[in-house]
Amino acid sequence: MHKIYGDIYEVYMCNERCIWICRGDLCEAIYNSPNKFLFRTTPNNGLDELNATLEGLSFNRNWELWKFNRKLVTKSLTSQKFLRDALEYIQVVWEEMEGYLKEYETLEDDDNGKILDFSKWISTWSTDMTLFLITNQNAFSLANYNSTISQNSLLLQNAPKSILKSPGAFIENTIAYLESWIFFAFTPKFVRMLPGFKERVKSFYDKGNSLRRDIKEIIQKRRKEIEIMDNNIVKEKDIERMKNQDSDDEYDDSQTGFCSDLLTTILTMNANRSINKDTEYNEDNVHSKYMTDDNITGLLIEVVGGGVETVMLKALSSFLFL
């Protein structure tokens, strides 16, 4: 396209005018800070209908909220503690995956048609890694999928309990939610109301609502865990100070035991035991309180969805070329 149309050109996708930029230095002028382009996306009633322009990062048109979310995600995902934890957990999941692969080698052909679906297997593997690193919650998607195709009845009974009601449905809903962005962004509203399209719109809404319910349940569970941990830490500190009344030790956040995942960072960012001491998340005096569950949900869906979809596609490509 660059050879035909040059550095910059425009096309119409349905009823939307799109400008395509084919030079890296022009893109840097838009995405690097500081810049004069406050709004990264144009108004779009389809994305507005999904609330995609009011939350998260990809299409958020609220400049202050977008800047706040971007800083939050960047600081969390680039911290040394997060990278160290990620490296350790990836090794654990990789060893688990190798164990299942060895078990697949011992499976005999059966009459029930239970064969390994490689695309599903990769998606469960990427979901386990992404969800744990972002929320510190175990999905056990790979273990549950492995138990469904294994002939070992004991393995079926001892499959670990997932934080998700249905890991398979969660993966399907996540991919569908990302696909809904494209559908709503480039499909005119009157077309979405036509027979055939109307059913697809309803399907996108149902899967999106189900995905949001799953994410909100994870948020609520993690918040309760943090509250319990915080209460225990306060009690331990009180006991320690009672033993030594002359001690002037300050509250040590590094010993709180909190994880470095994004969800924990969000839920603790305004408390006196923030896990990232070098970051003042409310320095703009705009977000001085906890983010609402709706805002957290929108942000987590984008981060988790991006991890699941990207890792899955890259892993599939890598294995195909092995």
What tens digit of pLDDT does each residue of 257-288 get?
566 788 888 888 745 444 444 444 444 444 44
- Any idea how long the chain is? 322
As a whole number of angstroms, the distance between CA 266 and CA 72 comes to 8
- The pLDDT of residue 276: 44
- CB-CB neighbours of 183 under 10 Å: 16
- Residue listed under structure tokens 């993690």: 222
The model's confidence at residue 243, banded by pLDDT at 50, 70 and 90, is low
pLDDT for the residue 41: 73
Helices (H), the chain: 2-5, 24-31, 45-49, 63-77, 80-106, 118-135, 141-149, 153-157, 167-186, 189-192, 197-243, 262-268, 293-320
Please give the helix or strand (H or E) that residue 18 lies within, else none: strand 16-21
pLDDT at 274: 45
Confidence tier at 153 by pLDDT (50, 70, 90): very low
Bigger pLDDT: 36 or 185?
185
Give the span between the Cα atoms of 203 and 165, in whole angstroms: 19
Tokens of 309: 């979809």
Per-residue pLDDT at 88: 86
Q: Which residue has the tokens 């696909």?
A: 179
Confidence of residue 210 (pLDDT cuts 50, 70, 90): very high
Q: What is the pLDDT of residues 289-301, one digit of tens each?
A: 567 888 889 999 9
Cα(31)–Cα(122) distance, rounded to whole angstroms? 32
pLDDT for 163 equals: 84
